[in-house]
Chains A and B, each alone.
Chain A
Amino acid sequence: MVKLLLDGIEDPSIRYLNGYRAHGGYQSIEKAITMSPLDIVEEVKKSGLRGRGGAGFSTGMKWSFLDRKSDKPRYLVCNADESEPGTFKDRYLMEKIPHRLIEGMIVSSYALGVRHAFIYVRGELIWVAKHLEHAVGEAYSAGYLGNHILGSNFSLDLTIHVGAGAYICGEESALLESLEGKRGYPRIKPPFPAVSGLYGCPTVINNVESIAAVPWIVTHGGDAYSKIGVDKSTGTKLISASGHINRPGVYEIELGLPVEEFIYSESYCGGIKNGRALKAVIAGGSSVPILPAELILKTASGQPRLMTYESLNDGGFTSGTMLGSGGFIVMDDTTCIVRNTWNLARFYHHESCGQCSPCREGTGWMEKILHRIEHGHGTQADIDLLVDVSKKIEGNTICALGDAAAWPVASAVRHFRHEFEFHVRHPDQVTAPNHVANAAAYKYEEITHAKNND
């Protein structure tokens, strides 16, 4: 198994500078300062590395958009706001190997011509921020940060910043606003951060995992990285596995691993808890469409589904989903999909920043309709209303939170309409909070029955 990001994690001393160096840490900086910044950007482009924060946009490409002609300072900001339900990989990496991220920030800053970089850590992860802060202190003492790094004329300051509880601050422009000490309101784009970002200056924003992959790419070359993985999904990806599985946790996988192997292999999720059957998976964090067992294991055309950007997306939203941030949430056959969808709708309602009207009003409305259906007060018309409201939000908002709120709802109805109809038709059987869940086998059959009768 290839391990680039989590290499050495079993050694607790890797949290500190000496331990990290013993595992070969900080070598990429020595190599980087002998290279030209643009050559490093070139290597990152060659590597095929795609943003690990959710959108999967080419990192090298993003770097090449940075406005280098402007005479303003340039900034690099690392997005460590990790708040997408189901995602906890960045936290794990920063908690255990903080120096890997710091090393990544240093080489990336060198490549981008940045003199002051920031890591924005979500406020709740305060102790992780403290580990990072400690590691930053070590890096300054060792001459990896500060003036004239390793005797070169490259200098860099790195600030650890903490948020204060707002999922929306993971959206890159909201994060910048928050870092400027304001409410976390996403900005209206254009202009894009590459031209006008932090303090109105050209800025690159990358996820923790994206930045942590850069040292390996610099040390081993972009070509070597691109040989890992398949096609346009190069390299390794951290997957946060949660839900009804035997071995939840963070796994570094080589992209291209079959989904089935990931779920059932003892090296990964280790199968479904209590030997139950798989019902559904949310493969890339709560924002991506949910897929039923048959569609997550195989594509609509019967090909085995792989853990890659392309394979998970196969079939578009009709029968596919997205790799997203790699938050892999597994549900067994006792799960009530309506309840889970309501729970997520409540999350998006709670986290909407309230700036634009479709998301501000629509997320609350969806939550209310779902609450009604889930608690046995819904009607058949509510199911269609729900989908309709999700369509009014999708694509019409300032930032992607609107889409992120609409997709889980639309996909749940698309693939599990029978469960929504069961709730509407048998209100008396869904009043207990643990309905479906406890008498699973019995009720699940009944739901399937409702499905077959339609």
Chain B
Amino acid sequence: MPKITIDSIEVEVVQGTTIMDAARQIDPHTAPPAMCYHSGLNGSGGKCRTCLVKVVQTSETNPRPMPKLVPACRTLVEDGMKVENNSSPEVISARKGIVELLLINHPLDCPVCDQAGECDLQNLTFQHGAETTRYTEDRRRYPTKSLGNLIQLHMNRCILCFRCVYAADQLTDGRDHGVLNRGDASEIGTYIEKSIDNDFSGNLIDVCPVGALTDKTFRFKSRVWFTKPVYAHRQCETCCGKGVLWLKGHEVLRITGRRNAVGEVTEFICNTCRFESKSLHHWEVEGPAPIDQRSVISQNHYTS
């Protein structure tokens, strides 16, 4: 099994592991940030460039460094590879640059965004962003478009990670939305108005790292940190039936899939579980959902 050293910590991984997954094996919290890669979606990654790392030694047999920073999520480990992640000033500076670029056209509307508190971009910015912006021009804006009555699209917030496109390809029985246009005019959409309707379409919300796709049935109901997440399961014919109920008192405000240590939902749930089972009697509650210590959701100690 290949051995790789990341920021001086050695780890042994199976052949075919990416630098990202190796780093997550060491510690999910120090692993490179990922805005587009999602371990549950084939082909995802490589696009946002926040996970760039420096390979100072390619392998045992090829001790040369790689000429450029490489995306950890799409670069395979080789035996004897040496990688610098948080220890490299070059990596930190590139990452800061990427965050700045991701934000120049972002509306920064966290105060009115349902994703606030569980937003990967918010967290990324908190960790790697600058306090002020050097961008003075108008930000890009898109006309509001509807994707039906379950999913709310806020294109202005989208960072074009392509995860929802992969999710629709891989989880649903046919994709009706995609990336239209080109360059910085690219947008997520259906081209002609069409509602995205399909047993697993709710997962597009869960894979979206920002507030571009949110749950319309939860819209403006509550800040996430005022709700209490509990693990629950139910008998379901279509999916695994394992969800998180976001409660306020005994009211189920929202249902999502369960997230792993790096915030990815990997066991996807169906729309019946997500949208049509919004009552405690549909579910068997297991107990409080584990929430990262540093998350604002846990800071609030489940105010109810």
Check A-B contact in the complex, CB < 8 A. Answer: yes
Which A residues form the contact surface with B (CB < 8 A)? Answer: 166, 183, 188, 349-358, 360-365, 368, 385, 391-392, 395-398
A396 near B185 (CB under 8 angstroms)? no
B160 near A354 (CB under 8 angstroms)? yes
Closest B residue to A362 by beta carbon equals B101
CB distance from B128 to the nearest CB of A (A): 13
CB-CB under 8 A for A350 and B101, given A355-B47, A396-B52: no
A188 near B183 (CB under 8 angstroms)? no
CB-CB under 8 A for A392 and B98, given A188-B74, A397-B49, A398-B46: yes
Residues of B within 8 A of A355 (CB): 47, 160, 162
Across chains A and B, which 7 residue pairs bring their CB atoms closest together, nearest first? A392-B97, A188-B46, A354-B186, A361-B101, A352-B183, A354-B183, A364-B184
A396 near B47 (CB under 8 angstroms)? no
CB distance from B120 to the nearest CB of A (A): 13
A354 near B184 (CB under 8 angstroms)? yes
Could you say which interface size class chain B belongs to?
20 to 34
Please report the C-alpha to C-alpha distance between residue A24 and residue B70 in the assembled complex, in whole angstroms.
49
A365 near B135 (CB under 8 angstroms)? yes
Interface members, chain B 171-204 (any A CB < 8 Å): 179, 181-186
Can you name 25 A-B residue pairings with CB atoms under 8 Å?
A: A166-B182, A188-B74, A349-B183, A354-B181, A354-B182, A354-B186, A356-B46, A357-B47, A357-B50, A357-B101, A358-B97, A361-B104, A361-B105, A362-B101, A364-B105, A365-B135, A391-B97, A392-B94, A392-B98, A392-B100, A395-B68, A396-B98, A397-B49, A398-B46, A398-B47
Residues of A within 8 A of B48 (CB): 356-357
20 more CB-based (< 8 A) A-B contacts, given A183-B179, A354-B186, A361-B102? A349-B184, A350-B183, A352-B182, A354-B185, A356-B48, A357-B98, A357-B159, A358-B49, A358-B98, A358-B101, A360-B160, A361-B101, A363-B183, A364-B184, A365-B135, A395-B68, A396-B68, A396-B94, A396-B97, A398-B46
CB-CB under 8 A for A357 and B186, given A365-B101, A365-B135, A396-B97: no
A361 near B47 (CB under 8 angstroms)? no
CB distance from B166 to the nearest CB of A (A): 13
B97 near A361 (CB under 8 angstroms)? no
Q: Kindly state whether residue B33 has any CB partner on chain A within 8 Å.
A: no
A357 near B49 (CB under 8 angstroms)? yes
Residues of A within 8 A of B52 (CB): 396
CB distance from A382 to the nearest CB of B (A): 9
B184 near A352 (CB under 8 angstroms)? yes
Q: What number of A-B contacts does a CB cutoff of 8 Å give?
A: 84
Q: Return the contact of B184 from the options A166, A360, A392, A397 (Cβ within 8 A).
A: A360
B71 near A392 (CB under 8 angstroms)? no
Please report the C-alpha to C-alpha distance between residue A398 and residue B94 in the assembled complex, in whole angstroms.
14
Please report the C-alpha to C-alpha distance between residue A183 and residue B178 in the assembled complex, in whole angstroms.
11
Q: Kindly state whether residue B134 has any CB partner on chain A within 8 Å.
A: yes
Closest B residue to A368 by beta carbon equals B137
B74 near A395 (CB under 8 angstroms)? no
Please report the C-alpha to C-alpha distance between residue A355 and residue B44 in the assembled complex, in whole angstroms.
12
CB distance from A399 to the nearest CB of B (A): 11
Q: Kindly state whether residue B113 has any CB partner on chain A within 8 Å.
A: no
Please report the C-alpha to C-alpha distance between residue A395 and residue B98 in the assembled complex, in whole angstroms.
12
Please report the C-alpha to C-alpha distance between residue A393 and residue B100 in the assembled complex, in whole angstroms.
11
Residues of B within 8 A of A365 (CB): 101, 104, 135, 137
Residues of B within 8 A of A362 (CB): 101
Please report the C-alpha to C-alpha distance between residue A397 and residue B183 in the assembled complex, in whole angstroms.
13
Please report the C-alpha to C-alpha distance between residue A360 and residue B101 in the assembled complex, in whole angstroms.
9
Residues of A within 8 A of B101 (CB): 357-358, 361-362, 365, 392
Q: Kindly state whether residue B69 has any CB partner on chain A within 8 Å.
A: yes
Residues of B within 8 A of A353 (CB): 182-183
B71 near A188 (CB under 8 angstroms)? yes
Residues of A within 8 A of B185 (CB): 354
Please report the C-alpha to C-alpha distance between residue A173 and residue B181 in the assembled complex, in whole angstroms.
19
CB-CB under 8 A for A360 and B186, given A392-B98, A397-B49: yes
Interface string of B43-57 (1 = CB under 8 A from A): 001111110100000
